[in-house]
């Protein structure tokens, strides 16, 4: 009889550096739900959890693909129809020199691929603070040290250019830009992008432009500017996908668009394709929705934007009228990142708010933030009725707690 295995299987030490505050708060919320409480969810960036629906012609395209027997592995870079449609989208974004386009399992997989292909041991890329935790999780997986640059709350949450310059060291290989931004909702100006391009040129850096929210611009007077349009010479991978703009996050489809001076980016892109081949392909039937999404009717967007704008406005109204709360108005995506002037940590704030009032938000410290500042992230996707209930509950909580 073999003896039973009783020794613990220890996870790798690098897992210490993986944090995902959103999921951590959700675990506590699950426990409260099991106790019979109804949670007001202002935490998860999934439009399909609320009153948004995937455009029907995309669903039809996937069903047809499955019925037509398109159920095998696809080409590793994606099916031709999708690759060509993404090239067309790149051109519409003003990216004139897209050398290579590849389809992945969500932007999550492009991030993993691009960082894995770039970084040798000890090297780093600059990522924003506050960040979207996917980046720090992938960097932890690669044993790459974090090198964070600040987003400047006093300057409409634009990247702090001085901080970027200061943080670049001989081991820095690239810069991550999330525009429109999660968690701040900021939209970057052309001038900001031009300055970052200049820094990238000076230091021979690649730019990863995460533009997954580029069609979710909340004010008609604002326009999204693609980094690769501003800087066609700078090596850049632009990330996009159907999770947000096209309301299909569960399909796990994203892509990368490589641009920049060919001599500078060619061997890097070749290595990306090598790794793409090793993981076979993204889901084939889902890829058949890419062309209909990008080239078909866009008539879901006006309705989506009208809802998001009115929910953003309700959120800002609450922020403006609530003591101890201030917030830069979000211009893109569906996140607000209000600042808190409170005598305790924002982690305690969010946890107690959840336990006492059953409102689920995520604490700013879960995203990283400038030391000494406190925030919490609101996802303003729920309808106005849920939002107003949630905001009344947060006001009550703050009044009772801080007077």
Site residues (vs ligand PLP, CB under 6 A): 45, 106-108, 132, 134, 178, 182, 210, 212, 241, 243, 249, 254
State the pairing for strand pair 359-360/339-340: unpaired
Quick one: 241 or 368, whose CB is closer to ligand PLP? 241
User: Minimum Å distance from CB 357 to ligand PLP?
Assistant: 25
User: Minimum Å distance from CB 175 to ligand PLP?
Assistant: 15
User: Minimum Å distance from CB 33 to ligand PLP?
Assistant: 22
What is the spatial distance between Cα 278 and Cα 12, in angstroms, rounded to a whole number? Answer: 24
3-class DSSP state of 319:
helix
User: Minimum Å distance from CB 115 to ligand PLP?
Assistant: 13
What is the spatial distance between Cα 212 and Cα 260, in angstroms, rounded to a whole number? Answer: 20
What is the spatial distance between Cα 11 and Cα 110, in angstroms, rounded to a whole number? Answer: 25
- Strand extents, DSSP E, 31-130: 40-41, 100-104, 124-129
Dihedral class, residue 274 (left if φ above 0, else alpha if ψ from -120 to 50, else beta)? alpha
What is the number of other CB atoms lying within 10 angstroms of the CB of residue 40? 21
Quick one: 288 or 357, whose CB is closer to ligand PLP? 288
User: Minimum Å distance from CB 396 to ligand PLP?
Assistant: 30
Tell me which residue has its CB nearest to ligand PLP: 106
Please give the angle made by the CA atoms of 228, 230 and 235, to the nearest 5 degrees. 40
Which letter, b or e, does each residue of 185-222 get, where b requires 16 or more Cβ atoms within 10 Å of its Cβ? bbbbeeebbebbbebbeebebbbbbbbbbbbbbbeeee
Quick one: 46 or 233, whose CB is closer to ligand PLP? 46
Distances from the Cα of 332 to the Cα of 327, 339, 342, angstroms:
14, 18, 27
What is the number of other CB atoms lying within 10 angstroms of the CB of residue 13? 9
Quick one: 244 or 357, whose CB is closer to ligand PLP? 244
User: Minimum Å distance from CB 215 to ligand PLP?
Assistant: 14
Given a contact cutoff of 8 angstroms between Cβ atoms, the answer to whether 188 and 177 are in contact is yes
User: Minimum Å distance from CB 397 to ligand PLP?
Assistant: 26
Given a contact cutoff of 8 angstroms between Cβ atoms, the answer to whether 95 and 257 are in contact is yes
User: Minimum Å distance from CB 207 to ligand PLP?
Assistant: 15
What is the spatial distance between Cα 268 and Cα 401, in angstroms, rounded to a whole number? Answer: 54
User: Minimum Å distance from CB 212 to ligand PLP?
Assistant: 5
Quick one: 168 or 286, whose CB is closer to ligand PLP? 286
User: Minimum Å distance from CB 142 to ligand PLP?
Assistant: 17
What is the spatial distance between Cα 79 and Cα 285, in angstroms, rounded to a whole number? Answer: 10
3-class DSSP state of 85:
helix
Spatial neighbors of 233 by CB under 8 A, at least 6 apart, are 201, 260, 261
What is the spatial distance between Cα 241 and Cα 272, in angstroms, rounded to a whole number? Answer: 18
Quick one: 138 or 319, whose CB is closer to ligand PLP? 138
Q: Which helix (H) or strand (E) holds 328?
A: none
DSSP per residue over 111-124, as a string? Answer: HHHHHHHHPPTT-E
Quick one: 208 or 268, whose CB is closer to ligand PLP? 208
User: Minimum Å distance from CB 106 to ligand PLP?
Assistant: 3
């Amino acid at each position: 009889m073999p003896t039973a295995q009783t020794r613990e299987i220890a996870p790798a030490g690098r897992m210490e550096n993986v944090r995902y505050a959103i999921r951590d708060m959700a675990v506590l919320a699950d426990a409260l739900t099991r106790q019979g409480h109804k949670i007001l969810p202002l935490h998860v960036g999934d439009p399909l959890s609320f009153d948004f629906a995937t455009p029907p012609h995309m669903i039809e395209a996937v069903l047809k693909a499955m019925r037509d027997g398109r159920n095998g592995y696809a080409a590793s870079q994606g099916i031709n129809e999708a690759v060509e449609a993404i090239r067309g989208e790149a051109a519409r974004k003003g990216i004139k020199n897209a050398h290579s386009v590849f389809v992945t399992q969500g932007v999550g997989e492009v991030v993993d691929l691009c960082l894995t292909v770039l970084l040798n041991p000890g090297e780093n890329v600059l990522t924003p603070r506050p960040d979207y935790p996917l980046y720090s999780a992938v960097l932890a997986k690669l044993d790459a040290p974090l090198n964070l640059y600040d987003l400047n709350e006093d300057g409409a949450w634009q990247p702090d250019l001085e901080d970027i310059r200061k943080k670049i060291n001989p081991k820095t290989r690239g810069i991550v830009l999330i525009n429109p931004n999660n968690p701040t909702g900021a939209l970057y100006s052309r001038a900001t992008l031009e300055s970052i391009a200049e820094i990238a040129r000076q230091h021979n850096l690649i730019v990863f432009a995460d533009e997954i929210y580029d069609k979710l611009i909340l004010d008609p007077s604002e326009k999204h500017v693609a980094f690769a349009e501003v800087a066609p010479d700078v090596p850049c991978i632009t990330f996009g996908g159907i999770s947000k703009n096209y309301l299909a996050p569960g399909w796990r489809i994203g892509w990368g668009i490589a641009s920049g001076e060919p001599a500078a980016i060619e061997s890097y892109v070749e290595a990306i394709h090598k790794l793409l081949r090793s993981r076979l392909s993204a889901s084939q039937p889902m890829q058949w929705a890419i062309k209909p999404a990008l080239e078909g009717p866009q008539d879901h967007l006006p309705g989506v934007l009208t809802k998001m704008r009115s929910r953003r406005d309700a959120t800002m109204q609450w922020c403006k009228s609530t003591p101890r709360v201030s917030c830069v108005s979000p211009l893109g995506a569906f996140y607000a990142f209000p600042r808190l002037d409170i005598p305790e940590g924002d982690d305690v704030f969010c946890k107690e708010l959840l336990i006492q009032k059953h409102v689920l938000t995520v604490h700013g410290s879960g995203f990283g933030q400038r030391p000494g500042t406190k925030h919490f992230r609101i996802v303003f996707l729920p309808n106005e009725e849920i939002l107003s209930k949630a905001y009344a509950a947060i006001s009550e909580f703050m009044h009772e707690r801080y007077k």
